[in-house]
Structure 1
Amino acid sequence: MRMILAGIAAVAVLLAGFWIYTAIRADSVAAEFAPIGKFVRIDDVSLHYVDAGVSDGPAVVLLHGASSNLRDPMLALGDRLSGRYRVVAVDRPGSGWSSRGKNPDVALASVQAEYIVGLLDALGIDRAIFVAHSWSGALALELALDHPERTAGLVLIAPVSHPWPGGISWYYTTATLPGIGWVFVRLLPLPLGEMMLDGLVAAAFEPQTPPPDYPRRAGVELVLRPEAFRANAQDVVRLLDFVTAQSPRYGEVAVPTSILVGNADRIVSPRFHSRLLAEQIPGAKLITFDKVGHMVHHAAPEAVAAEVDRVAAAAAAGGGQRPADDGRRPAVEARPR
């Protein structure tokens, strides 16, 4: 009995330590990775964004993936695009420094699209090319489908677009549970996430290596804060049903579209996403990079920038997507790393 009680006491002390560490460390993470942009109020959400580049140039909006924030796409693409475009990067609701709001469905890409449109309105942008990574592929596609008047074109990088096998990781589902999730995110993600950070970042970039000092420059630890982790988990958990419902509509996308993917991506499989998507969108261009993983915009940033140029030129020339051959087959290009 004494051993059992001692074990319970030890676990209680450990969990209390995690709780206290998370509370203290979350504040220091916030201070270390302070906002780098401006804020605008869209309904009940405060959106954190960066507005850079040529103010009168075509607008390009960078949309980050899950477990990320606006620093990541800006790190890879900001300098490459800002000389000829108005580049806007935004933290999606609940990510980075953007607040979550009270809408119970804010995890859905359709709801987040409304906030992105609100941002365009606030910045006086009529139409934009959306450059979207991973999770935000579904968001950019939602914008093209339901806000076509605001969408000049799409550049999709390793996009999530279709339902996938394998379900959702346990830590995401746990974080979203009522009550239990609130406690969970205040106990484990931050201390364990910091212990595993280098390995997690390496896995995201595999088989490439991350850029020097990437975790600090990209503010990776921001997602480990309790409310940010829970918001990110909600986004991931609700994405599967969302793309299941949205994917039959991709044939309706009528803007110039480029899809860039690595054939070694183990996070968002090209087999279940990019290849199917390219078949559905009339005239879409699919570029597959050999021996490249999930972070294509870091592995091949110049190629991504070139596709932004191509899409921008096509949008300026007419705005509509020109079907390839029979209107269904994508233009497919394979590139060595």
Structure 2
Amino acid sequence: MSRNRRGCGGCALAFLALFFGLPLTMVLVAPAIAARIVADGLPEHAAYLSEWLWGAAVSVPLGVLSVRFALKRNGRVRRSALVKRWLGLLVRGLGLLAVMNVFVFVTKKPASAGEHVIDDGMGLFVRAALIGVAVLVVLALWDRRARRVTVEEVRAAAAEADRTLQRVRRENVRVSRQAERVRARLVKLQTRSDVEFHGLRVFHRESYQCADTAHIAYQSAQTSLHTMSSLVRRARRAPLQLVASRRARAEMHAAATHLARSQGELREQVDQGLSMVRTLNANTSDLKHEIRDSCGRQGREWFEALEERIEQAREERRVGNRVGGGQ
């Protein structure tokens, strides 16, 4: 069965190449065929010139579209502004046409009287198609290369990293203080018999919201760290790629070092903050159980309602993940 499937797959590829790839190639190399008709100067071929000229006119937008489909959406060309994007696609489309048409014009032998316009067209078009595919592959690989970073971009990223670092440090202090407050309240609960349910319930909500807000802030910082990692690698390579003065390379090296240092400090602070959030969550969970055990019927009812809300929120997240994965 698997051999039959592989055989059918090969037949399908051959079918697509024959009935779609070959006509596409003929249109793309139409300018070379038209030029060869003019260069040969045979009267019997002149009747076909207008058809190939029409093909030559269509080859330009077709070449641009071929390049567009070969390049990724997040690549250097398609990610740029509208005018610059289509100008880049036009230049690359014309380059594709130039390579293919030069090959066909040079390879195709001058026709003699009584011969067809295209002699041995299948072999000629197959070779032209392979060259076109090779050009598209080169363009796609070049388009995936990261744009060379500038010293201004590195400095701006380092400044943003410093600001994010200050925010994370403030968040760490807030989480640490809240964790200490929860731990102190737990100790107090365990040593006193008189407890105030309403105040404990509000305190539990504040603690939970503190951990939740801090976790969101740390997730945002982790996203920034991921972006910085790529920029740090590019910035470290930049001095080796710059054809500039020693001063320019030194400035880039200093900016890259600053960014790498800020990134390292930010990652350390985020890891520390996430560890404190886990501690705060553990203390908040202990507080939840102490409220249940120390506040009588009110505490037990509150605990059961809270657990029900937590389980409902988890189920909603699971349903959302399944729906998102199905899309």
For Structure 1 versus Structure 2, the TM-score category normalised by the shorter chain is under 0.3
TM-score (norm 2): 0.23
TM-score (norm 1): 0.22
Larger-gyration structure (1/2):
2
